[in-house]
Structure 1
Amino acid sequence: MATPMTRWLIPVLVYTLSLRCSATDHLSPPSRPECHIPCDDNLCSVIECTWNPRPDPKSPINYCLYWGPTNSEDGNTTWGTSSDGIIRRQDFNSHEDLRVWVRACDQHDCVKSQEVVFNTEYIIKAPPPTFSSSSQDPLEIYWSTICDKLHLTAGTCEVRYRTEEYQEWFGNRDIFSGSFAVLNPQPGTIYEFQVRCACGFSLESNWSVSLRIKTAESAPVGEVDVWRDCSSSQSGYNCFLTWKELSLSQARGLILGYVVRIFYNNGTMRMVNVSAVEPRSLLVFDETMWRLTYSLMDVSSVSVSAYNALGSTDASHLALRAPGKKGNNLKLHLEMQEENLTVSWVRPSPLSASLKQYVVEYKACPSGQGFDWIKVDKSQTTVFLQGTFKKYTSYQVSLFALSENNEVHRLSTSVGYSVQGVPSVVPSFKVLSVAAKEATLIWEPVPCSKQNGVILYYQIGVDSQKVYNISVTPEMGDNTFKLPDLNPDQNYEVWIRAVTAAGPGANVTTRIKTMHQQQFGRFAPVLVVSALIVILLIVKSVCKAESKVRSLLPQCLYVKVPDPSNSHIFKQMKHQMNEPMAGICSSVLEPHPKISLLEVVETKSKVFEPNGQTRLLMQDECSWMDGQEDQTADHAAENDRTDQRYGRKDYSKMVDSDEERVDCWSSSEEEQSTSGYEKHFMPTPLEILAD
């Protein structure tokens, strides 16, 4: 209650403050004050009020807290620069209605907040309750309040709880008893509880301290989330087995270890029992996942199961697909920030009947860092992953299909960056070959750890004249480029750089000098003619040499055998068929061979008889042609070589019917002067005349 002293001081104080607190438009009014009476174990003393200030950076603001009975114009005030105020116990009565407001004043004006009216009994705020006991089976908690000490009736309470795995609170309100039980709690799980209560119709207390209880263990449920981490290196394609730690709701207690069964391509099996309590070098734990350091080379499939003291999970199977096989090439759409990654794709049509799940995997470059995956139902086409994605770091995102028999098929791969930057320099840039008007360049691409962004293309420039954009698609080939349109015998400065969405990287420069222009076209006819002349001279010399060799052979080596090869024309044909150079030599030695015509002349020759008389040789008697003896002598030397080469028999050893009818050649001298060729082939004069 206000005393007589305070009654006359209040008008003076209000008048003084009014000089400083007058209405203005440039100040914003503070919020409505919120007031309560905090209580300890035995006493509820003052009223605490708080509000939201409206700071003005131009000048300091003073806040004035006003209060007074609702049925009186009298009131009290306190002022200061903070955003809260206290109404002392002696300035109000219990179970009294009060109206409270706040004024904000600067050096020019003041503004007023909205008034709040309350009964002091309804703003009492008791201290939080305390937990008295708890039980695991069933999971139940008990607590108590001090409402009876404050001479107030017990009000309602509110309970909230959560598990160690899920940090979201679950709550129950309007609980009148001092206990609460959780129905169907998860085995082997830590629960955290908090409670707050109200006394009568007053305000609820603050939340109590947390109470943590672990439920009893049971056998784990579900399956282990198994995957493989595969990478390509110089030594080949290799995979390592990895799996995620079981959730608390699945583990239902302390996981003691894992049983890994490895099935090889040759039909054998190996079982590995690794401890999760004391892992060794064979098993490595990385935050939330386990990794088996044993290589999966020549492994066809694996299975993993987890166990605790009361049982084990079902075995998770995974078939390892042979490297090099690819599935449908789907296009991935990536949206990557530093805190999350969204991956979406178009569902393949038609959808495979054996498809069970999709697997989305991401891996930072270099491989082995920032590796994670998520499995989703086959009906989904969008995946949201949370994580820490570093700036300027390449992440390879891959989409896989997991079939009903747990076989893995890669569908698509893409590269993403949370933030892109300009790429690093090209590691190597060299000249592969140089010609007069072109040069072939080769370079080493920027490694993924230094790309700092998606490489859009490479730029190759010649001095400051031309710039070529080289695509990074697979059609680019083996990182080579043929530089066209160069001038012979000239120096050039050539540079290369990589380009990302953030811009081009630094240039790497090399120098080339083109070759001299070769004037082959001017001398080409002369060279061709010269080559032909040389070839003809060589052929002629070879043929002459062969002819000389034949002439030097002794005639005794030749056997006089009549043969058609004595003719130059037949000899030419034989040489063409059997001797590599015979056709050429014959054409040189005998350019126009012809067969001579034989002329038959009827003559009357005299024949000397043994008695000294003469008689004429009649037509039915033997005769020979003029010049035949000379021709026979010319061919005699060549018959022996020809017959020996072709394996022919002597005509002297052969019997001809015509020769039997003609017996006029009895003289041995006449037989030697007559050629075998004429005897065998030439008709007699009688045969010619008979025609």
Structure 2
Amino acid sequence: MSPHASQPVTRNGRVLVGASKVIFGFQTNTRYRMIAAYRSASVSEALRFFTAHMWILSVLLLVFQTNCFTSTGPPALSSPPECFMPCDEKSCISDIHCTWEDRGLDHLFPTNYILHWKTTDNNSRGNVTSSNSLKGVIQREDFINHEELSVWVEAENQHGSGNSKENVFNTADIIKPPPPKVTLTQQEPLEIEWLSFCDELQFSAGTCDVRYRIDTNPVWSKYESGFLQTYVLDNYLPGTVYAFQVRCACRIGLMSDWSAVHKIRSEGKAPVGELDVWMDCSTTTGLLDCILIWKELPLFLARGVIMAYEVVLFYSNGTSVLLNVFTPDPKGLLTCSEMQCYFNCSLKDISSVNVSALNAHGATVPSHLKMPILDSSGQEKDDQIINLMMTEQNLTVSWELPTQQPYNLKIYEEYVVQYKQVGTPPGVGFDWVKVNKSQKVVFFKGHFRNYTPYRVSLFTVSHGKNVHFLSSNIGYSLEGAPSKVQSLKVLSIADTQVTLFWESDPLYKQKGLVLYYQVGTDSINVYNVSTSPLSSNETFVLKSLRPGQEYQVWIRAVTKAGPGANNTATFKTIQLENDVSLLPSLTALFLLLVALLFFLWCYTSDKVGLWLSEKVPDPSNSQIFKHLKMNDASASIFIPILERHPSISVLEVVNRFSGDFKPNLEKSLADKSARHDEILHIDRHNEQKLACDRADQRCRREEYSKMVDSDEEGNNKVDSWSSSEEEEFTPGYEKHFMPTALDILEG
């Protein structure tokens, strides 16, 4: 062991590790010191140490493997040696050649192999040392022909030795002829012939074994036995290359080795069936992103080499174009890989296509396909009806159709389910399968990369080959945390809100499907912002902010694996310049509002409704009641009952057409005297009313009625008045409410 392995390695005064003690921890105290040193060392320092001392680690690993995986006892061989006398096309070698197998566990130690033999009667024995070789030769002089030998192998190393099982045989029965030679083949029927060398070796011919496979298949089929010189393959695929091998034995001896591989192509025929034609289209854009793609025919349908494809493009204006593309295509219009071929030609303005496969004997029936039907916006509708279960090796797709469909599903004969690795070129990471309309589940096998989005889409195909898109979904075999949100900006700032803008990562860069975004200014006020896999730009209005205050907003994306890193931005809301100057105006506006509310309350209240409504004659204002003392408890009986809409008697005005009006002075004075006496009479009645009992309301009502009636009677007695006389004798109450004679005449 190198002295460097037992000394601690230091860097900047810090102990890293001791190599031998780190790997094995030979002593308990040393193991604890190693763990402490490892914790105190940084990762970069540990890596630099292991890189500089890689040779030490190699030696230690060798010792570790030796101690753990290699037995310390003697080696042992489980199978006996195989011995034979090899022959060429003309003669056989008289020496015996033996071979044996190595178990593969003792190669770390030098091992010597010794080939032992003896006769069954123990009359003779011998051995030969073979060093590290796995074969040995028994010379002709060391054995007698036609006698039985017992052969075994002894293996020895520094730990001891061990023997294999014995192989007992007759030396006359171990002749091994050379492999036969295939001499004749024909395509129809598919037949081969061969020649063994038993006759040349002066032995009778024995049986032969034949095995075959399709040239593209590396696995041989089970071999068939009992044939002499020919073999006919009955069930073969037309136009397919087959590989054959033959081995034979003579009447006496061992079976020869397999012959060299001989290949033959069966006779071809016209291909049958139809190509499985589809399109690799984006589910978010129109037909410009579509390319034509189809699967190569299997061998049993191709029935020969497919040399070209015939493609007919039908345009929307009724014209068509015929194209023949060869495999391989020098023009680059056709690319085939992994049993798929895609056509590098624009499908703009294409309504439908026909594709046929051609070989030397004919062509398949044309496969017809129409372009997918999109909605009026030029995009496919996306109703989430697909369920996905995805691992690295398998993809399971199931779906349930909604009860209401925009078209009749009864006219459709099959579903098409496809998956596409997002962001890959046409034909890469893409596959599809067509199933009957009664099936609602499909399975895909493949290698689905972790943290990589795959878009799975569902279509229907009608009897007329019309294609309708139904739904799509995004799946991951394993999701990871999202990356940091990019390009967070503040678009607009107000006093209490701001508008935020950010860009979503392209879907092919997302390690997991973004479920939503989280936006906040602290750990308490956090908003969840929904998103869509198809959206690239996002906006959000952050409200309920304070004017003139500085904020730091953060945002992060959230996937099934959890939230990503935060991205932050700083802004300050706007401070209004006239906030202080508006205070008096706001106060005045508030007071005005309070006054308006009080006015409305008063208007609807019965206490002051009369004051605000139209003026109504009130007897208490008349000078007829001037001697009434309001502090008397009986005065309340004269207060009229307030009504919202009081009933008022209508004054009827009658015009007299008796010629020119001529006032009579004498009559006026007489009327004035009568009026004065009437007023005095009313005053005496008022004094009587004061003496009425307070509870006698009928008496009061009667007096009030008489007051009104006497007043009206007085008015009826007056035929005409002068304005001056009315001002002198008419009380203020009557003057205010009752019209004058002049008003009546002018009216």
- Say yes or no: does 1:66 pair with 2:116: yes
Matched residue of 2:151: which SS? strand
Which TM-score applies when normalising by structure 2? Answer: 0.60
1:663 matched residue in structure 2: none
Aligned to 1:655: none
Are 2:573 and 1:514 equivalent residues in the alignment? yes
AA paired with 1:216? E
Indicate conservation of the 8 Å contact 1:51/1:83, yes or no.
no
What displacement does 1:353 show? 5.0
Residue number in structure 2 paired with 1:274: 324
Aligned residue for 2:501?
442
Letter aligned with residue 159 of structure 1: V
Distance in 2 (alpha carbons) for counterparts of 1:496 and 1:409: 39
- Structure 2 unaligned residues grouped into runs of 5+: 1-70, 596-649, 666-718, 725-741
The residue that corresponds to 2:132 in the other structure is 82
Tell me which residue corresponds to 1:239. 290
**d(CA) in 2 for partners of 1:163, 1:315:** 28
Following superposition, the deviation at residue 159 of structure 1 comes to: 1.8
- Residue 600 of structure 1 deviates from its aligned partner by 8.7
**Aligned counterpart, 1:148:** 199
Aligned residues of 2:75 and 2:156 also touching (Cα < 8 A): no
Q: Which residue is 1:96 aligned to?
A: 147
Residues 232 and 115 (structure 1), Cα distance of their counterparts in 2 relative to 1, 3 Å cut: same
Structure 1 residue 86 displacement after superposition: 0.7
Q: Is the 8 A contact 1:436 1:486 kept in 2?
A: yes
Whether 1:125 and 2:185 are equivalent positions in the alignment is: no
Identify which of 193, 198, 217 aligns with 2:244. 193
Residues 496 and 573, structure 2, Cα contact 8 Å, conserved in 1: yes
**Aligned partners of 1:160 and 1:380: how far apart in 2?**
42
CA separation in 2, counterparts of 1:357 and 1:27? 68
* Secondary structure of 2:341's aligned partner: strand
Q: Is the contact between residue 325 and residue 334 of structure 2 (CA under 8 Å) also seen in structure 1?
A: no
Q: Deviations along 1:104-141, whole A, 9 cap, x unmatched? A: 43324333333333334444433221111112222211
State how far apart, in whole Å, the 2-side matches of 1:455 and 1:201 are: 76
- SS of the aligned residue for 1:449 comes to helix
Shift of 1:486: 5.6
Contact 2:271 2:303 in 1 (8 A): yes
AA aligned opposite 1:373: D
Q: Which residue of 2 aligns with 1:215?
A: 266
Q: 1:89 to 1:483 in 2, by over 3 A?
A: farther
Tell me how far 1:314 sits from its aligned partner: 1.0
3-state SS in 2 of match to 1:137: coil
Paired residue for 2:211? 160
| TM-fit CA distance, 1:285 | 1.8
Tell me the CA shift for residue 347 of structure 1. 7.0
- Please point out which of 413, 425, 430 is paired with 1:372: 430
- Matched-pair contact (CA < 8 Å) for 2:211–2:220: yes
Aligned residues: 538
Structure 2 vs 1, CA of residues 394 and 605 (structure 1 numbering), >3 Å: closer, same or farther?
closer
* Structure 1 residues 475 and 239: CA distance shift in structure 2, 3 A: closer
Name the CA distance, whole Å, in 2 between partners of 1:604 and 1:469. 97
In structure 2, the CA distance between the partners of 1:143 and 1:278, relative to structure 1 (3 Å rule), is: closer
Alignment match, 1:491: 550
* Separation in structure 1 between the aligned mates of residue 147 and residue 559 of structure 2, nearest angstrom: 73
**Aligned counterparts of 1:416 and 1:309: Cα–Cα separation in 2:** 43
C-alpha contact (below 8 Å) 2:653/2:744 kept by paired residues? no
Q: Which moved more, 1:135-144 or 1:302-311?
A: 302-311
Say if 1:398 and 1:94 are closer, same or farther in 2 by CA, change over 3 A. Answer: farther
Matched, 1:284 2:334: yes
Q: Does the 8 Å CA contact 2:75/2:160 hold for their aligned counterparts?
A: no
Mapped to 1, the partners of 2:401 and 2:150 lie a distance apart of 69
Residue range with higher mean Cα deviation, 326-335 or 217-226: 326-335
The 1:66–1:316 alpha-carbon spacing in structure 2 relative to 1, beyond 3 Å, is same
Aligned to 2:188: 137
Correspondence 1:414 to 2:473: yes
**Which residue of 80, 83, 98 maps to 1:36?**
83
Pick closer, same or farther for the CA change 1:431–1:137 going to 2, 3 Å: same
1:505/1:148 CA distance change after superposition, 3 Å: farther
Does residue 51 in structure 1 map to residue 101 in structure 2? Answer: yes
Tell me the residue number matched to 2:442.
Answer: 382
Following TM superposition, by how much is the alpha carbon of 1:70 offset from its aligned partner in structure 2, in angstroms?
Answer: 2.9
What SS does the corresponding residue of 2:589 show, helix, strand or coil? helix
1:197 to 1:301, Cα distance in 2 relative to 1, 3 A: same
What displacement does 1:249 show? 3.3
Aligned ranges for residues 610-649 of structure 1 at < 5 Å? none
CA contact (8 A) 1:357 1:376 kept: yes
* Pairing 1:331–2:331 present: no
Equivalent position SS for 1:53? coil
Aligned-partner Cα distance in 2 for 1:295–1:361 = 21
Q: Which residue of 2 aligns with 1:229?
A: 280
Aligned to 2:395: 342
Change (3 A) 1:398 1:476: closer
Quick check: 1:429 aligned with 2:488? yes
Change (3 A) 1:121 1:227: farther
Moved more, 77-86 or 499-508: 499-508
1:318 has 2:369 as partner:
yes
Report if the CA contact (8 A) 2:499-2:541 is conserved: yes
Sort the Cα spacing of 1:404 and 1:114 in 2 relative to 1 into closer, same or farther, 3 A: farther
Contact in 2 for aligned 1:600/1:625 (Cα 8 Å): no
Contact 2:382 2:472 in 1 (8 A): no
How many angstroms does 1:145 deviate by?
1.5
Alpha-carbon spacing, 1:61–1:476, altered in 2? closer, same or farther (3 Å): same
- Give SS of 1:479's match: strand
Give 1:54 shift: 5.1
Partner of 2:61: none
Aligned to 2:683: none
User: 1: distance between equivalents of 2:335 and 2:534?
Assistant: 42
SS in structure 2 opposite 1:345?
A: strand
Q: 1:102 to 1:36 in 2, by over 3 A?
A: closer
- Cα deviation code 1:491-536 (max 9, x no counterpart): 3333434455667655433222234487889964523567999xxx
Do the aligned partners of 1:363 and 1:396 also contact (CA within 8 Å) in 2? yes
SS of 1:231 mapped into structure 2:
coil
Q: Is the 8 A contact 1:162 1:169 kept in 2?
A: yes
**1:363 CA displacement:** 1.8
Give aligned-pair identity as a percent: 37
Q: Secondary structure at the match of 2:588?
A: helix
User: 1:26, 1:182 → 2: CA distance?
Assistant: 53
Partner of 2:49: none
Is the Cα contact below 8 Å between 1:52 and 1:83 reproduced in 2? no
- Whether contact under 8 Å (1:470, 1:476) holds in the other structure is no
Alpha-carbon distance between aligned partners in 2 of 1:419 and 1:69, rounded to the nearest angstrom: 67
How far apart in 2 are the matches of 1:314 and 1:101? Answer: 66
Q: 1:200 to 1:318 in 2, by over 3 A?
A: same
Shift of 1:326: 5.1
Q: Residues of 2 paired with 1:525 and 1:80: CA distance?
A: 116
Report if the CA contact (8 A) 1:391-1:417 is conserved. Answer: yes
Q: Which residue type is aligned with residue 372 of structure 1?
A: F
> What runs of 5+ residues in structure 1 fail to find an aligned partner?
1-23, 534-594, 608-622, 629-674, 683-691
Question: What is the TM-score when the length of structure 1 is the normalising length?
Answer: 0.65
Structure-2 residue corresponding to 1:480: 539
Provide the rounded CA distance (Å) in 1 between the counterparts of 2:110 and 2:546.
78
Structure 1 residue aligned with 2:158, among 84, 87, 107? 107
- Name the SS for the 2:122 alignment partner: coil
1:286 and 1:414 map into 2 onto residues whose CA distance is 28
Question: Are 1:28 and 1:54, in contact at CA under 8 Å, matched by a contact in 2?
Answer: no
Q: Give 1:35 deviation, angstroms.
A: 0.7
Query: Per the alignment, do residues 417 and 100 of structure 1 end up closer, same or farther by CA in structure 2, a change over 3 Å counting?
Result: farther
The alpha carbon displacement at 1:432 in A equals 3.6
What residue is the counterpart of 1:361 in the other structure?
418
